[in-house]
Amino acid sequence: MDIQAIKQRFGITGHDPYLERAIHVAVQVAPTDLTVLITGESGTGKEVFPKIVHQSSARKHGPYIAVNCGAIPEGTIDSELFGHEKGSFTGAHEARKGYFEVVDGGTIFLDEVAELPLSTQVRLLRVLETGEFLKVGSSKVIKTDVRVVAATNVNIPEAIEKGKFRQDLYYRLNTVPILIPPLRERKQDILILFKRFALDFAEKYRMPPLQLTDEAARMIENFRWPGNIRQLKNVTEQISIIEKQKTITADILERYLPRENSVSLPVLYSREKEEEKISERDLLYKVLFDMKKDIMELRKTVSGLMHDNPDESHAAAPIRSIVKNFVPAMDQLEDTFGNIDIDPDEDDFSGFQPSEVIDENLSLEKKEIDMIRRALSKHMGKRKNAAKELGISERTLYRKIKEYNIDQ
């Protein structure tokens, strides 16, 4: 079938080559019974592609159902998908068919599939591999012939590493992958989509359509659109309703665009695993001891000035005064972060030794060991609770226990 005809039939707007490639793959895979996994950011329009697959397949006259896996509570998801027998759990007053039984011979779209609990993932894997499932509370095997199309905005390989998604299920779902590009990578389509939405809302609310000035058009193209097509549509509707002036300038448009991420600038970010990130407490400790080190360096400088120029020691007095005035602030922090050996009444700066810096680091290590021991003692050696108390992951706590050789 012609790509242009598909776009017209399902209301898809745009000429981006990656978008057209996704449509082409959906049409090509439709006549088969292969499982399809659609990935892409939230708001990119993933929900249209399962309809393309279903309507272009031999199952088009069979049932079609879309299930939002993230919207169903964990305690009832198995019952919703596979059904249950009467009395199988509290509140099960009668037997119920699940979606996989109802949609036999058709297509089921599992949106937000990465939100499924691990136990449900096991059941789903069995359906995909054998076409069989068990109702909740039943030992009778039921056969079903269902085409599964799944979608997610989650990075599933990362979810697999974190133990939140089964690797075997991922490979089974990802037989044919379809990637929907984000709106910021479809710059040529942004103005086309805006004009389409503007015309739709003009007809809906019986008003003239919006027009963009050249500057406003450039602004709307350069915006990152983190919410993708959904966000663009919402912004267009807001402006259509609120603004009486239908020629939209950059100043007017700016009122409706969040200031953060408003321009397509490079973004620097860390890909470190969440459990390895530095905690807020660690950052505060680092800042604190860096400040202490700077003061000691300043002392050393003042001491050198006094030693080399004893007759001009008065030149160092202003610096020494700054050090003394800064010390009380350090003393206030001491109550929270431990002992900091800076004496505000110490006039002789010649006693600085490099070993003091080493002692600081050791004292920080000692403080950390003490905090870990106290947390473990408080929670009777339970590492999970102790890690939560300390604000770190259980894996990080285990590593520190081994590193410091802490007895439990």
Q: Mind listing the pLDDT tens digit for each residue in 148-195?
A: 999 999 999 999 999 999 999 999 999 999 999 999 999 999 999 999
Tell me if 346 sits within 8 A of 371, measured CB to CB.
Answer: no
pLDDT band (50, 70, 90) for residue 349: very low
pLDDT band (50, 70, 90) for residue 329: low
Residues 24-58: tens digit of each pLDDT: 999 999 999 999 999 999 999 999 999 999 999 99
Residue 286 has pLDDT above 70, yes or no: no
What is the full DSSP assignment across 344-372?
TT---GGG--THHHHHHHHHHHHHHHHHH
Give the range among 148-152, 200-204, 251-255, 368-372 with minimum mean pLDDT: 368-372
Tell me if 302 sits within 8 A of 319, measured CB to CB.
Answer: yes
Q: How far apart are CA 46 and CA 229, in angstroms?
A: 11
Which pLDDT does position 326 carry in this prediction?
55
Q: How far apart are CA 187 and CA 184, in angstroms?
A: 6
Q: What whole-number percentage of the chain has pLDDT above 90?
A: 60
Q: Which residues contact 34 (CB under 8 A, 6 or more apart)?
A: 175, 176
Beta strands in 237-341 (DSSP E): 247-248
Mean pLDDT calculated for residue range 304-316? 56
Domain boundaries, the chain: 3-181, 198-254, 277-404
Quick one: fold of 198-254?
A: Helicase, Ruva Protein; domain 3 (1.10.8)
Strand partners, 111: 68, 151
Which pLDDT does position 344 carry in this prediction?
44
pLDDT band (50, 70, 90) for residue 318: low
Single-letter amino acid code for the residue at 400 = K
Q: Which residues contact 50 (CB under 8 A, 6 or more apart)?
A: 36, 38, 64, 66, 107, 109, 149, 151
Q: Which residues contact 402 (CB under 8 A, 6 or more apart)?
A: none
Give the range among 303-307, 334-338, 346-350 with minimum mean pLDDT: 346-350
Q: Which residues contact 28 (CB under 8 A, 6 or more apart)?
A: none
Q: Which residues contact 323 (CB under 8 A, 6 or more apart)?
A: 295, 298, 299, 302
Straight-line distance from the first to the last Cα atom of the chain, in angstroms, rounded to the nearest whole number: 68
Give the range among 70-79, 136-145, 222-231, 317-326 with minimum mean pLDDT: 317-326
Q: Which residues contact 234 (CB under 8 A, 6 or more apart)?
A: 227
**Of 228, 220, 170, which is closest to residue 13 (Cα–Cα)?**
228
In this structure, CATH architecture of domain 3-181? 3-Layer(aba) Sandwich (3.40)
If DSSP codes are grouped into helix, strand and coil, which group holds residue 384? helix
Residue 225 has pLDDT above 60, yes or no: yes
Choice between 355 and 95, residue whose per-residue pLDDT is larger: 95
**Of 389, 388, 383, 385, which is closest to residue 402 (Cα–Cα)?**
383
